[in-house]
Amino acid sequence: MKTTLTVIKADTGSVGGHNRPSNAMINRAEEVVQTGIKNGLLSDGRVTFTGDDIALLLVHTRGVDNLDIHKFAWDTFVETTKIAKSQGLYGAGQDLLKDAFSGNVRGMGPGSAEVEIEERPAEPFIVFAGDKCGPGVFNYPLFECFASPYHNAGLLLAPDMNAGFTFNIMNVNYTEGDKVICLKVPQDYYDICTLLRDPNRYVIENVVENASGLTAAVASTSRLHNIAGKYVGKDDPVAIVRTQKQFPSTGEILSPWALAHYTLGDNRGSHHVAVMPVKQNTIISYFDGPTIISAAGYCVHEGKLTEAVDFFDQPFWDYVREKASKKTLEMRAQGFYGPSMAGMDELEYTGVTENLKRLDNKFVVREKK
């Protein structure tokens, strides 16, 4: 049976600042999703939030890039925006960057990750959702869990994965269209590293298993800054990763997140902090951060989802959260100097550029003696 898993997420307003959507917004999104199930558009669906972003997990049979599904998600976010406005919430409709829906949410603000699958007898998968970060947050953990035996012991122990994986990588700063490159491990290992070392430009769009040709992972690639032409909030990406059997085990997929790697995001989308793996429905707090990532595990069978398993709600991750806090505080101690704040090409606030122009006019070139 062919099933499509679609995750579409957006920030349509939040309580207290950029912290979390209101309960009324979540309730409304849940009502709309239930209606979608009753009407037969969806076979199942879930609503969660990560920081100020609402993620819709929609299960259906209409394939990826389906107009009705994308319109359904857009309309759901229009509904949650109405509630945010009625409650006077901050950033109501923040990620809805176009006035009217036109065919597909891609390029309109919401982030999306979708995969059409032939359901395996057991179909476990993970939905990752980030807040206060760009899509490049997935470069390190996705590459490591598919390509490195340090995390994916299956590359050595399970013959299924010996042929490696294909990475489709997008240049997200190219705005004329989708500029992508297809590279494989093990043969293109160093070329992939050369690209993924720059997570603000090159991001993983999807990962395919070489032996079976099956899609293992898909991630959102939207950069709000490039759609809106100015800073309107951070991209806050989502990803779907299938696990077990021909794919890495669930634990192997989660393994790289224990590093709490540094990424660009946090306050005003302009600071480097450590990614904190958090429980579902975690809020944002310190310095409009830290950057957070949640991971919900499901199985899907004949289009129906099981209950979620909340992977970062486990004592091991308390230690990682403490480590992430320490790493973030170490970086924050350096304030705006050097690597603490984004480099000029990634600074999404125009204030610095304008101030530099003003100051440049005051510079004098000293006459040579």
User: Could you list the active site residues?
Assistant: 11, 231, 234
Q: Does 205 bind ligand 13P (CB under 6 A)?
A: no
- CA-to-CA distance for 213 and 235, rounded, in angstroms? 29
Mark the segment that binds ligand 13P (CB under 6 A) among 37-45, 116-124, 194-202, 233-241: 233-241
Q: Which is nearer to ligand 13P, 114 or 252 (CB)?
A: 252
229 CB neighbour count, 10 Å cutoff = 10
Q: What is the dihedral of CA 43, 66, 24, 47, to 10 degrees?
A: 50
Q: Does 249 bind ligand 13P (CB under 6 A)?
A: yes
The DSSP output letter for 85 is H
Beta bridge partners of 181: 169
Least distance to ligand 13P from the beta carbon of 204, Å? Answer: 21
Q: Does 11 bind ligand 13P (CB under 6 A)?
A: yes
Q: Does 52 bind ligand 13P (CB under 6 A)?
A: yes
Beta bridge partners of 8: 56, 112
Q: Which does 80 bind (CB under 5 to 8 A by kind): ligand 13P, Mg ion, none?
A: none
**321 touches 163 (CB < 8 A):** no
**Residue from 70, 106, 132, 225 binding ligand 13P (CB under 6 A):** 132
Q: Which does 251 bind (CB under 5 to 8 A by kind): Mg ion, ligand 13P, none?
A: ligand 13P
Q: Which does 93 bind (CB under 5 to 8 A by kind): Mg ion, ligand 13P, none?
A: none
Mark the segment that binds Mg ion (CB under 5 A) among 47-55, 101-109, 149-157, 261-269: 47-55
Q: Does 151 bind Mg ion (CB under 5 A)?
A: no
**Residue from 236, 252, 266, 348 binding Mg ion (CB under 5 A):** 236
Would you say the C-alpha torsion 358, 359, 362, 366 has a positive or negative sign? negative
Residue 120, class by beta-carbon neighbours within 10 Å (0-12 exposed, 13-18 middle, 19+ buried)? middle
Q: Does 123 bind ligand 13P (CB under 6 A)?
A: no
- What are the angstrom distances between the C-alpha of 6 and each of 114, 144, 199, 272? 4, 24, 24, 30
Q: Which is nearer to ligand 13P, 91 or 303 (CB)?
A: 91
- CA-to-CA distance for 196 and 186, rounded, in angstroms? 15
Q: CA 295, 182, 176 angle in degrees (round to 5)? A: 90
Residues making contact with ligand 13P (CB under 6 A): 11, 18, 51-52, 91, 94, 131-132, 233-234, 236, 244, 249, 251, 267-269, 288
Residues making contact with Mg ion (CB under 5 A): 11, 18, 51-53, 91, 131, 233, 236
